[in-house]
Structures are given as C-alpha cells and as structure tokens.
Amino acid sequence: MNEIDRLRRRGVRTLVVASWATVGVVFLLGLLLGSQREWMTLLLGAAANIVPTIVALRRRYDAAARLIVGTLAAIQPALAVYALTGHPWQMDSHMYFFVALSGLTLLYDWRPIALACAMIAIHHIVLQLAVPAWVFEGGGNFGRVVFHAVAVLLEFAVLAYLTTQLVRLIEAQADARAQSDRFAADATARRDDAEAALTAMRAAESRERAERARREASERDATAERRREMLALATAFQDSVAETVRDVTRAASDLDRSAHALNSLAHTASVELAATAHIASQASDTAGGLASGVRQLTASIVAIATSVDQQANLSGAARGVSRSGENAVRALAERANTITRFAESIQEIAARTNLLALNATIEAARAGDIGRGFAVVAHEVKALANQTGSATEEIRTLAGTVQGGATLAHGALDEIAATVAEVAAAAEAIRSEVDGQRQAAGMIEATAHDTAMGATRMAERIGAVATVASDTEALSDRVSSAATGLSEAAVALEAATDKFIAQLKAA
C-alpha cells in the first residue's frame, strides 16, 4: 500500500463519517426551522449512506468505492436543499454543493468529482423541469440552472486540476520518500557497515594493542631473560676463564720452576761433564804416558807401579764422575717427563678454553647485537687458547728434544762407565801383575795403548754429553721463556675477560 492508497482509504472513511454527520445536521436543522420534510431527508440520507458505509467498513478504496462515495457529494447537499424548501436559506444551502465537491478532494481522484458534478447538473435540470421549488426558492428559470452548472463545471476544473496535481505531488513525494528511504536505508546500511567496520577496526586495534602490549611484554621478558642468561653465562664464563687462567698460571709457574730446575741440572751436568772430560783427558794423557812407561818398563818398574796406581785412582775418580753425570742425566730425563706432563695439562686446558670460547661464540650469536662484544672477546679468548696450544706444542717438542738428548747422554754415560770400569779393571790387573809380569811388557804396552784409545773415546763421548747438556740448558731457557709468555697470555686473557664482563653488565 502506497501513500495515495492510504490517503484514499482515510478519505473514504472521513467522507462517510461526514455524510452521516450531514444527515444528522440536516435532520436537526429541519426540526429547528420547522420543516415538514426532516424525517424524509433523514430516511433518504441514511439510505444514501448505506452502500458507502459498507464500502468504508470493508476498508475499500478502489475506483468503484471512490465513485460510490463520490455520489454523497451530490446527494447530501441536494437533501439539504430539499429540506429547506420554501425557507429563505434554501438558496444559501446551494453553497454546500461546493463544500461537498471540495471534500471529494480527499479521495485524490478527479472521477468521483466528475460524477458528483454530473449528478448535481442532472439534479438541477431535472428538478428545474419537474419541481423547481425543490431547487430554488420561489421557483427558478433555466438560466439560473445553467449559471449554477457553469459554476460547478469551473469548480470541477479547478478541483480536478488540484486533485491531479495533488496526486502527482503525493506520488512524487512518495517516490522521493521511497528514494529517501532507500537512501536512508542505504545510508543506514552503510552507517551500520561503517559502524561494524569501525567496531571491527576498534576491536582489531584493541587486539593489536593487546597483542602489541603482550609482544612488548614478551620481548621485555625475553630481553630480561636473555640478559639474565647472558649475565649467568658471563659469570660462568668468567669463573671458568678465571679457573683456566689460574690453572694455566699454576702450570706456567710449575713449568717455569721445572725449567729453572732443568737449567740448573743442565748447568750442573755441564760442569760435571766438563770435569769428567778433563779427567778423561788426563786419563788419556796418563794412558799415553803409561804406554811410554811400558816401553821403558825395563827402566823403571817403580814408575810403572806408580803410574798404575795413579791410573787406578783416576779411573775411580772417573767412575765417580761418570756415576754423578749419569744421575744428573737421569734427573734431567725425569724433569723432561715432568715438563711433558705439564705441557699436556696446559694443552688440555687450552682445548677446554677453546671449547669454552666456541660455546661463548654460539651464545653470542644467539644473543644478537647484545652479544656482539661477547663474540669479540670469545674470538680473542679462542686466539689466546690457540696461542697457548701452539706454545704448549713447542714446549712438548722442546721437552721431547731434551728427553732424547738425556737418553743419548744416558747411553753415552753408560758406555763411559763401562769404559771406566774396563780401564779400572785393566789398571788393577796391571798393578797386581806388575811384579810378576815384567816379561809381559809388550802385552802391557798394548793394554796401555788400548787404555789410551779408550780414554780418548771416553773423552769424545763426554764431549758429546757436554754438548747435549749445553743444548738442554739452552732448551730450558726457551721453556722458561715460553712459560713466561704463557703466564702473560693468561693474565691478558683474564684482563680481557674482566673487561668484557664489565661491558656486558653495564649494557
């Protein structure tokens, strides 16, 4: 149902009610004015209202219903004119035809107005011909009828135009209202969409803020946790490095003491070997003199005996010196073994330090920018550990060289001891047999010659051992320097670690 239909249905109801009111008013007016036709007008008016009332009660507003209601605009004013027949107001009651016609505009249709105008014109013409007194007071003429008819037609023209324009206007308003409703609905839908989008955006912003707050809190917690882990790692690293530095420092100190002890032993061995070489040289000279004396055995047996005693004494002294040198070389070998063990301990510590630096590098890479300085220190720690390993390997090589030289010296001293023992035995044999072996001077000369050759070989062996002892002394100086360098590297490592830990805690 559109707006025109609603207005027409309301107009039907309004006109029917107004028609019943007109019936009552006309009846009362007839009673008041003493008309003789009030009951007739009442019955006729009620009869005229029956069909329109049924239409109104059925809520009809179609074209037929509008035409039925439109008849009332001609019937009810005509009954009023009839009720006032002979009364001075009869002529004035004609004006209600115009009022009734104007009331038909409530139906928003020109056709009921046209029907009513036609009925009015027929009413006037028929009654003018049949009963003129029912139309005009004192009768009338055809000219007056035509005059009234023209007025009705003019009113019809005005009312028809007005009704048509009203319908168009209302339809336009309805279209505008419909369009406005569509626009309003569209605007409402868009507003709802905008509100929904705004609500969704606000919800998304709220979620985003909550997510951002949660992410920031998580990042802060993660950063704090990483910092705690980094500080814990740094503390553990510092403790480990400090322990490593202490181990390296103790090992370097032990190595330095061992190097100094080795140097002292090597120096002592060199001195004793120099004395042994001197004694061996004297023994060689004595053996040479013995050979000359044997050749002159016939000249002086006493000189031979004395030489033999001297040779025996020198051989004993040489044996003692050889035994001292052997002990010194054995101690040197043991110190070399000790140095080798210290070097292995230091190398193990360097390996642990290298592994710790690798772990620190991995943790620094996980820490990102915070662990960049940590990675630099870890790299320096790794470099120091590699330097420590290199120094340790050099120490092990030097210790191996010392141990090899000590082994060689031990073998040479064994040969020297054997030779000295042989010389002593030979001298003892010479001394015990000198009295009864004058006739064996040639054998003694040969023996003395062999003794001289043995003494010469002993001197050469002792010279080689002295060279080894000198080399051992030089190697011990290098070991001491390496131990000092290792201590300095440990101190530098500890200082770098402390500096890094201080920077990390200050970050």
- In three-state form (DSSP H/G/I as H, E/B as E, the rest C), the secondary structure along 57-75 is HCCCCCHHHHHHHHCHHHH
Q: Are 255 and 476 in contact (CB under 8 A)?
A: no
pLDDT, tens only, 81-118:
777 776 766 666 667 777 888 888 888 888 898 888 88
Question: How far apart, in whole angstroms, are the C-alpha atoms of residue 67 and residue 104?
Answer: 10
User: Per the structure block, which two tokens stand in for 251?
Assistant: 């090992």
Question: How far apart, in whole angstroms, are the C-alpha atoms of residue 155 and residue 135?
Answer: 19
User: Per the structure block, which two tokens stand in for 322?
Assistant: 């050889």
User: Which residues, 6 or more positions from 498, have their beta carbon under 8 angstroms from its beta carbon?
Assistant: 238
- In three-state form (DSSP H/G/I as H, E/B as E, the rest C), the secondary structure along 209-265 is HHHHHHHHHHHHHHHHHHHHHHHHHHHHHHHHHHHHHHHHHHHHHHHHHHHHHHHHH
Which pLDDT value is given to residue 273?
Answer: 62
Dihedral angle computed from the Cα positions of residues 27, 28, 30 and 31, in that order, rounded to the nearest 10 degrees: 120
Which pLDDT value is given to residue 91?
Answer: 65
Q: Look at the block and give the residue holding tokens 């001075």.
A: 88
User: Which residues, 6 or more positions from 166, have their beta carbon under 8 angstroms from its beta carbon?
Assistant: 105, 108
Q: DSSP 3-state assignment of 298?
A: coil
Which pLDDT value is given to residue 53?
Answer: 92
For residue 507, the 8-state DSSP code is: -
What is the CATH code of the structural domain delimited by 219-506? Answer: 1.10.287.950
Question: How far apart, in whole angstroms, are the C-alpha atoms of residue 132 and residue 379?
Answer: 135
* 118, 375, 499 from 355: Cα distances, Å: 122, 14, 20
CA triple 290-291-296, angle to 5 deg: 90
Chain-centroid distance, C-alpha 98:
90
Question: How far apart, in whole angstroms, are the C-alpha atoms of residue 7 and residue 108?
Answer: 8
Q: DSSP 3-state assignment of 308?
A: helix
CA atoms within 13 A on the CB side of 432: 6
Q: Are 283 and 311 in contact (CB under 8 A)?
A: yes
Phi, psi of 290 (to 5 degrees): -60, -40
Phi, psi of 38 (to 5 degrees): -65, -40
Which pLDDT value is given to residue 20?
Answer: 92
Question: Which segments in the chain show pLDDT lower than 50?
Answer: none
Question: How far apart, in whole angstroms, are the C-alpha atoms of residue 424 and residue 325?
Answer: 18
User: Which residues, 6 or more positions from 327, have their beta carbon under 8 angstroms from its beta carbon?
Assistant: none
Q: Are 154 and 97 in contact (CB under 8 A)?
A: no
Which pLDDT value is given to residue 133?
Answer: 60
Q: Are 417 and 329 in contact (CB under 8 A)?
A: no
CA atoms within 13 A on the CB side of 171: 8
Q: Residue ranges of the domains in the chain?
A: 3-140, 219-506
Question: How far apart, in whole angstroms, are the C-alpha atoms of residue 257 and residue 491?
Answer: 18
Question: How far apart, in whole angstroms, are the C-alpha atoms of residue 110 and residue 104?
Answer: 8
Dihedral angle computed from the Cα positions of residues 84, 89, 90 and 94, in that order, rounded to the nearest 10 degrees: -120
* 121, 260, 387, 391, 451 from 344: Cα distances, Å: 142, 19, 14, 11, 46
Closest CA to 255 of 179, 142, 339: 339
Q: DSSP 3-state assignment of 84?
A: coil
Number of residues that make up the chain: 507
Closest CA to 412 of 215, 252, 280: 280
CA triple 53-57-58, angle to 5 deg: 120
Phi, psi of 296 (to 5 degrees): -110, 30
Which pLDDT value is given to residue 204?
Answer: 82
Burial of 186 (0-12, 13-18, 19+ CB in 10 A): exposed
Which pLDDT value is given to residue 468?
Answer: 65
